[in-house]
């Protein structure tokens, strides 16, 4: 077990959590299966949660995944100009804490023995499973779209924040699929978990939906939820949400692969879109004594 400082309340963050989510020492590959779909995964370069999500996805669907594209989590490539600056959003202490933890994890990924490196960053997870990996800055880059088209995938799964243009949405033979950390149609847009915390929600959802030109508006395929409380920080709630990601994504793949209609409604056209928390909402967050870390 590797322990890295992350939260001020506990003083530590357990990078390798319990068997329920991620335990490399008890790792067993799933039984070999006939590949029925070709899958490409777009995943952000976050080191706190995404490598564990990717590991668990590849444990279940390794033979189906043709490419993993790690997307730089850069707000410049997100088509939205209304976000608060990072300093306004996180605060100086939280930014320093996250930056330090990110640096420690990436440093460990360079110097630890190869087995443990395979669980710290997306690139090494892919190397462990022998799945092709590429790093990109912009999902809509024409060269990347051409490369994706040459693979002719059935599904493109997005676990990142950049918005897909029409060219890339048209690539897969079945659909582009997004995993969104809210129970759509509620909290369509950016930072849904933070808004759920501000509004005092007792549960937080995770939704897998097919993607259209309208953001977070495609038909819903799978939804699940977990219980939260004011004692949990923003990062605590994201950890709980990401624990559900492999389960809901694999369930969605099965449904889409078998062309089954799960019976969920589409997101209504008049559903409001959140472009990110306002300064007033952040003041409400602080007034409620809610925590980021």
90 or 81: whose pLDDT is higher?
A: 90
Is 103 exposed, middle or buried, given 0-12, 13-18 or 19+ CB atoms closer than 10 A? exposed
Determine the pLDDT at residue 82: 58
Query: Interior CA angle at 277 toward 274 and 281, to 5°?
Result: 125
Tens digit of each residue's pLDDT (9 = 90 or more) over 138-189: 999 999 999 999 999 999 999 999 999 999 999 999 999 999 999 999 999 9
Instruction: Fold for 3-26+37-287, please state it.
Output: Rossmann fold (3.40.50)
Question: Is beta strand 175-180 parallel, antiparallel or unpaired with respect to 188-189?
Answer: unpaired
Cα 1 to Cα 23, 89, 92, 230, 292: the distances in Å are 9, 31, 29, 28, 24
Tens digit of each residue's pLDDT (9 = 90 or more) over 197-243: 999 999 999 999 999 999 999 899 999 999 999 999 999 999 999 99
Contact predicate 241/215, CB 8 Å = no
Task: Examine the pLDDT at 76 and tell me if it is beyond 70.
Answer: no
Categorize the per-residue pLDDT at 19 as very low, low, confident or very high, splitting at 50, 70 and 90.
Answer: very low
DSSP 3-state assignment of 78? coil
Determine the pLDDT at residue 278: 85
Domain ranges of the chain: 3-26+37-287
Task: Examine the pLDDT at 5 and tell me if it is beyond 50.
Answer: no
If you average pLDDT over residues 56-81, what whole number do you get?
A: 80
Task: Examine the pLDDT at 78 and tell me if it is beyond 90.
Answer: no
136 or 273: whose pLDDT is higher?
A: 136
Tens digit of each residue's pLDDT (9 = 90 or more) over 95-133: 999 999 999 999 988 888 877 777 889 999 999 999 999
Determine the pLDDT at residue 266: 81
DSSP 3-state assignment of 136? strand
Virtual CA dihedral for 280, 8, 243, 237, nearest 10 degrees?
-30
Angle between helices 234-257 and 50-61 (to 10 degrees): 20
The beta strands (E) that lie in the chain are given as 3-4, 13-14, 39-44, 65-71, 133-136, 155-159, 175-180, 188-189, 203-210, 220-227, 273-274
Q: Which of 75-89, 173-187, 235-249, 271-285 has the lowest mean pLDDT?
A: 75-89
Contact predicate 205/290, CB 8 Å = no
- The percent of the chain in helix, strand and coil, each rounded to the nearest 5, is 40, 20, 45
- How far apart are the C-alpha atoms of 184 and 176, rounded to whole Å? 17
Task: Examine the pLDDT at 87 and tell me if it is beyond 90.
Answer: no
Whole-model pTM: value is 0.85
């Amino acid at each position: 077990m590797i322990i890295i400082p992350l939260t001020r309340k506990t003083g530590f963050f357990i990078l390798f959590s319990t068997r329920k989510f991620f335990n490399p020492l008890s790792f067993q590959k799933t039984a070999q299966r006939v590949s029925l779909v070709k899958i490409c995964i777009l995943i952000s370069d976050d080191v706190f949660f995404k490598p564990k999500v990717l590991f668990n996805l590849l444990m279940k669907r390794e033979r189906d995944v043709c490419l993993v594209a790690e997307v730089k989590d850069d707000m410049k490539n997100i088509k939205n100009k209304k976000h608060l600056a990072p300093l306004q959003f996180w605060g100086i202490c939280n930014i320093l804490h996250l930056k330090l933890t990110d640096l420690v994890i990436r440093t460990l990924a360079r110097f630890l023995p190869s087995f443990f490196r395979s669980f710290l960053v997306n690139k090494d997870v892919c190397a462990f499973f022998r799945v092709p990996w590429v790093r990109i800055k912009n999902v809509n880059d024409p060269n990347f779209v051409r490369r994706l088209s040459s693979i002719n995938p059935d599904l493109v799964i997005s676990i990142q924040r950049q918005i897909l243009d029409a060219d890339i949405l048209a690539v897969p033979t079945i659909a582009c699929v997004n995993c969104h950390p809210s129970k759509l149609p509620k909290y369509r847009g950016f930072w849904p978990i933070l808004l759920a915390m501000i509004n005092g929600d007792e549960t937080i959802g995770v939704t897998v939906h097919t993607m259209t030109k309208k953001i977070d508006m495609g038909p819903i395929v799978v939804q699940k939820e977990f219980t939260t409380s004011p004692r949990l920080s923003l990062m605590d709630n994201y950890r709980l949400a990401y624990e559900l990601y492999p389960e809901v994504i694999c369930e969605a793949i099965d449904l889409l692969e078998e062309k089954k209609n799960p019976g969920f409604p589409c997101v209504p056209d008049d559903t409001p879109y959140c472009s990110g928390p306002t300064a007033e909402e952040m003041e409400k967050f602080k007034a409620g004594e809610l925590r980021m870390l």
